[in-house]
């Protein structure tokens, strides 16, 4: 591995761009590669075996591209694949996602925390372990959100249909007295502006993108792999509709980037 090698970032779709942005801000000298497995979205309804197989294909692709690190910018894929990929590539810095139960438990004043996430994340043993470890003194209300990822993937961040669906998901959390809400999917931070309109100003929203960027920086620093030169423009691949990603990318990513087809 060399300092100037790129970092590979992977998600089931465009949600991981929220994590990519945090990495870009914290590590502006790094060259970034991004694979959106849009052809197989949503992961939240897929089997762990299927998600692991897709994750391994993307990991192999990033290895071919010479990536010095791999970020799984997807909660569902982290649950299904991170442990196996660390065994597959023990020499490779790998950072995954997990819902921010610990900071949410520390932030709540009412003692009630809400979680918006995919079905796959909420049903996972890893999420249950997080609750056992960090949420023993708080009440956690979980809310699966089918349909949200698909709307965000279409580029919809503010339609009446999206508002109606989102209202249905946040209403039980508010009725239960939640004052802190975890955005447990990397797609959901794109909804922060809309949520700010729909939620009382006292509600705290928490996601983990910035924490992932900090962990990546720490792992690269440990290995003396932090880049210090001028980065290459970000490169994007999608297993879905390339023209669609090219169309919506400027709305979601404020830097230059090239979009190609990921055919694996």
Adjacent-strand bridge partners of 204: 180
Task: List the one residue out of 6, 156, 147, 132 whose CA is nearest residue 70.
Answer: 6
The one catalytic residue among 38, 145, 178, 185: 185
d(CA 158, CA 162): 6
Q: Which helix (H) or strand (E) holds 206?
A: strand 204-206
- Per-residue tokens: 45: 């309804």
Burial of residue 124, with CB atoms counted within 10 A of its CB: 0-12 exposed, 13-18 middle, 19 or more buried: buried
The one catalytic residue among 38, 74, 145, 178: 74
Provide φ and ψ at 28, rounded to 5°. Answer: -70, -10
**Dihedral (CA of 147, 13, 239, 51) sign:** negative
Q: Clarify whether 145 is annotated catalytic.
A: no
Which residues belong to the active site?
74, 185
């Amino acid at each position: 591995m060399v300092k100037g090698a790129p970092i590979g970032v992977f998600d089931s779709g465009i949600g991981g761009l929220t994590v990519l942005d945090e990495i870009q801000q914290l590590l502006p000298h790094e060259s970034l590669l991004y694979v959106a497995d849009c052809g197989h979205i949503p992961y939240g309804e897929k089997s762990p075996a299927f998600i692991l197989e897709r994750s391994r294909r993307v990991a192999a692709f990033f290895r071919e591209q010479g990536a010095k690190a791999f970020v799984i910018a997807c909660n569902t894929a982290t649950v299904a694949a991170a442990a196996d990929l660390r065994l597959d590539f023990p020499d490779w810095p790998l950072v995954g996602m997990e819902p921010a139960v610990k900071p949410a438990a520390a932030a709540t004043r009412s003692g009630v925390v809400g979680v918006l996430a995919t079905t796959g994340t909420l049903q996972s043993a890893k999420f249950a372990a997080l609750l056992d470890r960090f949420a023993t003194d708080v009440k956690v209300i979980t809310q699966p959100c089918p349909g949200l990822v698909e709307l965000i993937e279409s580029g919809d961040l503010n339609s009446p249909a999206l508002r109606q669906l989102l209202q249905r998901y946040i209403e039980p959390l508010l009725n239960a007295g939640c004052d802190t809400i975890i955005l447990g999917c990397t797609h959901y931070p794109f909804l922060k502006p809309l949520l700010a309109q729909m939620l009382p100003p006292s509600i705290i929203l928490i996601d983990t993108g910035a924490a992932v960027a900090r962990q990546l920086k720490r792992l690269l620093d440990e290995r003396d792999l932090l880049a210090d030169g001028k980065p290459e423009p970000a490169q994007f691949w999608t297993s879905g509709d390339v023209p669609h990603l090219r169309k919506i990318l400027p709305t979601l990513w404020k830097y230059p980037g090239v979009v190609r087809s990921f055919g694996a």
